[in-house]
Amino acid sequence: MNAMPQTIYQDIGGKDAVEAVVTDFYDQVLSDEQLTPYFDGMDMDELRAHQIQFISAVAGGPVNYTGDDMRKAHAYLDIDEEDFRVVGEYLKSALQMNGVDDENVEAIMVEVMAFKDPILNR
Ligand code: HEM
């Protein structure tokens, strides 16, 4: 039998794994007082749900992302380069905390970093 190669999503443990990553990601983001002002008054349940969809989709999972596009979601926030870098580090750390291996961490980070310019509205 010629098995299809696994997606990154399957490889890292699917839905449960992505949910755990996103929990650990926002725990770190919301513990950083440099970042909390961005999230004041946000619907964190919805944001969490959309982030789970987004990470699942970039990892090749069978999940539709139903949120706004990255430019629209972030444009009015006026995010600076340093805050973007720190949020990226928290995502990377959340992936590592959940046992995602280096190769898959790198692959997911490449996918996410491809959205840097839209997120910074450039
Ligand atoms: C590093 C890559 C990032 C990814 C993959 C990402 C992903 C997302 C996603 C999927 C949403 C949901 C959009 C929706 O619900 O329609 C969102 C919203 C949001 N993001 Fe990001 N984000 C990133 C970076 C950042 C940074 C650097 C900040 C702030 C420092 C930030 C702050 C927010 C806020 C406040 C919202 C809620 C916007 C709203 O509901 O009006 N994000 N992001």
CB distance 74 to ligand 1 below 6 Å: yes
CB distance 118 to ligand 1 below 6 Å: no
**6 Cα: distance to centroid of ligand 1 (angstroms):** 28
Pocket test for ligand 1, best of 35, 47, 83, 116 (most atoms within 8 A of CB): 47
**10 Cα: distance to centroid of ligand 1 (angstroms):** 24
pLDDT at site 4: 76
pLDDT at site 5: 80
**How many Å apart are CA 62 and CA 39, to the nearest integer?**
28
CB distance 53 to ligand 1 below 6 Å: no
**How many Å apart are CA 106 and CA 121, to the nearest integer?**
24
pLDDT, averaged per 10 consecutive residues of the chain (122 residues), comes to 83 98 98 98 98 98 98 97 98 98 98 98 96
**7 Cα: distance to centroid of ligand 1 (angstroms):** 24
Please give the angle made by the CA atoms of 80, 81 and 87, to the nearest 5 degrees.
Answer: 90
Complete domains list, the chain, with CATH: 11-119 (1.10.490.10)
pLDDT at site 1: 61
Query: What backbone phi and psi angles, to 5 degrees, belong to 78?
Result: 55, 55
